[in-house]
Structures are given as structure tokens and as C-alpha cells.
Structure 1
């Protein structure tokens, strides 16, 4: 299952898996109304799913919500903009992870991956700015780590991780690329799925980049 399947990375992940002969359930706000910021919608839609998934990727997210872009400094912080970032980038994934125990199999390896971002790393933050987005991604990293601990108690072969896809050329990032190197969504999807294939249950609870390298918290 790919959540956020209409976005650049989510769409590429879905197509990549389908091309490999994998059955894919696509969910997104724009295509079928699966809005991570609406708890009732998330609970209702996930409750309709009965078969377990070997892979769930939460690829939803945004740098801008309702026109509020990343702050250049703390002086630009807005309470509403910060709450909106948390609702989409942290609370939304948490609502899915809340049901992970029911959506994943217990008798074989399964992976649930949440797309995070290196800017959510507290240790790696040397520039400041982007306060709300950074904080929301740091929050979702903690949520993923906590979910992994709890899931491992009942699903011994499960892997629950946060993944940094690198900088990808999508509508999500086009205003902020500048001279920063970026890859096409199709390449990012291939990179992420290679990381997923290489994960073992012992890797659960971690934060990894597109090359499978650990990202500092």
C-alpha cells in the first residue's frame, strides 16, 4: 500500500512496484479522498482493509500547507502554520501507524516506511530556519521509533523505519531546489525500494537515507 500515491515519489513507487508484478493499493487525498489530516477518514478507510500488506509506504507530506512555506528564521514562526505541518507530516502518519498491528502480517517479513527528511535530524541541523517542517519531521521520527518498539512485541519479523529519499525533483520541492543536486522521482523510487529490500527486522526503528545509510537523530 502506497499512501500519498498521487505525489511525485508516491506515484513513482506505485508504478515501480506495479511494473515488478506487485499488487499495489494506492491511496491519496487528491485521487480518492484519503486525507491524513482527517482522523475520521483515516480510521474509516483503513478499517475497510482486511488483507495484510507486506509493504506500506507513507509518502504523503508537504513543505507548504495552505501557502505557508518554510520559515527563514524563528521570527517567522506562525502557530497555525506549525500546527498544519504537524497535522500532515506527524499526526497523519501516526494515525496510520496506530493500525499497523492490524495491517501487517505476523508470519513473514513486512516493512512499513514513513518518508521523513534529513532536515528533521536535530544533530544535523547547522543552518536553522525551516522551523515547522524540521520540527514535524523530527516528531514523525520519534513516532516511527516508538511504533517500531511496540510493533516488534507482536510482529517479530516487522520493520518500521523512517526514510530520507534525498532531494527529488517534484512539485513538492521545485521552488526550493536552487542549485542543490536532485534526482527524478523514478530514480528516488528505485533507491528507496532497494533500501526496503535490504532491511532486516534488526533494522527496525531506524532512520535511513536513500542509500541505506543511517541518518543521525
Structure 2
């Protein structure tokens, strides 16, 4: 008998105005989640039944702390960090050679892809229950895998995602000592039709580009099937482990 997925009653999406984050917010509502905290810099989108917007800035620790305080009375059972940057707003990145590495640009990528999610963990993980299952996840990328890297390039992005994966492993080990049912994982959504991937969609093989709504449902299905022993790993949209 196929077990019916157990969807959360409360959830939080950090980065709810991006393609994947927006789709995740509405997919969770469609699955019956009662309260979905939807975080963005403006704090006004998306809107709709069960969606509770809040504002935060990945580079402002105080705003992340305030967001956690906002959720304290009814903490999310599932948390998904759906933020990330590949190309900076000024057009820099991703670097195809080490000769193009720019320290300032690399710092910005690490701040958004690695340090920001770490700050979210700092303030959200203390809200998680000790005795019950919870999920804390962040959108990562297969290119963050060190052992699976056969092409090189994209230095700042690869490094930021590899560092994110290491942090998720660290958090899983630490919190697993006291929260035996917790699940902390990275997620590789595939190539999703979004602003992040738009400059790199040329010449993609047919069928490789995924709609945000499909990507969201794929990732939610993966999270629903994970257990405590999976904590600390990275999984793709098919539920397969991504090599470290």
C-alpha cells in the first residue's frame, strides 16, 4: 500500500517571490497546509488564502531574527529556503575561468547563497520541536557537488553551493543530537524556467527545462518521503542523493 504523504500544517518559504518559491507557496496551500509564511524583501507577495507574507533581507541578520520572532507562536513544521543568485544584478557571473574571478562579486554570491541561509538556520532551527519530525531545507545545486564536478568553472556559484551543503551537513549533525526526528537537507530542483536560469536556457535538450509548478511539486514530494536518516544530504528532484 502506498503511504499518503503527510503535509505540514505550517510552513515557511524564504524567497517566495522567485519562480520556485512562489510555486512552492501555492503548492503547499493546495496540499492543505494551513499557514504558509511567505518571505520576501518587500513582504507583500505572494498573497492568497493561507499565505502570510513577511519581509526579510538575506544580508540583514536583524531582519531574519525578526522574521523568526514573527513565527515563534506558531513555528513552521517545514522550512524551505528558496533563495539564490547565479548572476549578480550588474551582470557579473558566473565566471568560466579563474582569470575572471572578482573578489567583490564572489563575496556577494557567498553572502546570498551561503551566509544568508546560515543566518536563517541560526534563528529558525531553535524553533523546531525536539520530539516531532520537522524539515529544514535549502535549494542547492548539483554543481555544488565536489566529486561530481567534471567541468570546472562557475567558481563563485559552485563554491557557494558546496559551502551551503557543508553547512547543512553540520547543522544536521549538531541538531540531530537533540532532535532525533529532524530532517535537514539540500535540494537540487533541476533546471527550472526562472529568472536565475533564463540566461542559460539556450540549447538545452528538450524536456530538461522544468516549469516552476512542476519543480515545486517534485521537491515537496521528495521532502515528504525523507526521514531522519536522510538528514545532512542533498537530494535532487527525483529523490536521488546528490554526491558530496
TM-score (norm 1): 0.96
Aligned residues: 217
- Residue 216 of structure 1: CA displacement? 0.8
1:68-123 C-alpha deviation (Å, 9 max, x unpaired): 22011111000001000110000000001112332222232110111000111111
Among residues 156, 162, 171, which one is paired with 1:138 in the alignment? 162
More divergent stretch after superposition (136-145 vs 117-126): 117-126
Distance 1:131 1:70 in 2: 7
The answer on 1:191 being equivalent to 2:218 is yes
Q: Name the structure 1 match of 2:147.
A: 123
Q: Residue 14 in 1 paired to residue 25 in 2?
A: yes
Which of the numbers 54, 63, 79 marks the counterpart of 1:56?
79
- Which of 67, 77, 90 pairs up with 2:114? 90
Aligned-CA RMSD value: 1.2
Conserved 8 A contact 2:68-2:124: no
What is the CA distance between 1:66 and its match in structure 2?
3.1
2: CA distance, partners of 1:101 / 1:185: 27
8 Å contact from structure 1 (residues 168, 183) kept in 2: yes
One of 202, 205, 230 as aligned partner of 1:203: 230
Q: Which runs of at least 4 in structure 1 moved beyond 4 Å after TM superposition?
A: none
For 1:183 and 1:103, how far apart are their aligned partners in 2?
A: 33
* Displacement of 1:141: 0.3
- CA offsets per residue over residues 25-79 of structure 1, 9 Å max, x none? 1001243541111112212222232122110000011112232220111110000
Question: CA–CA distance in 1 between the matches of 2:55 and 2:125?
Answer: 23
Kindly indicate whether the alpha-carbon contact (under 8 Å) linking 1:52 and 1:102 is maintained by their aligned counterparts in 2.
no
Q: Which has the higher strand share?
A: 2
SS in 2 for 1:24: strand
Q: 2:31 & 2:242 partners in 1: Cα distance?
A: 29
Q: Which runs of 5+ in 2 are unaligned?
A: 1-11, 44-53
1:66 aligns with: 89
Give distance in 1, aligned partners of 2:95 and 2:59.
21
Task: Report 1 or 2 for greater relative contact order, CA contacts < 8 Å, sequence distance ≥ 6.
Answer: 1
Q: Distance in 2 between matches of 1:131 and 1:30?
A: 30
**Secondary structure, counterpart of 1:26 in structure 2:** strand
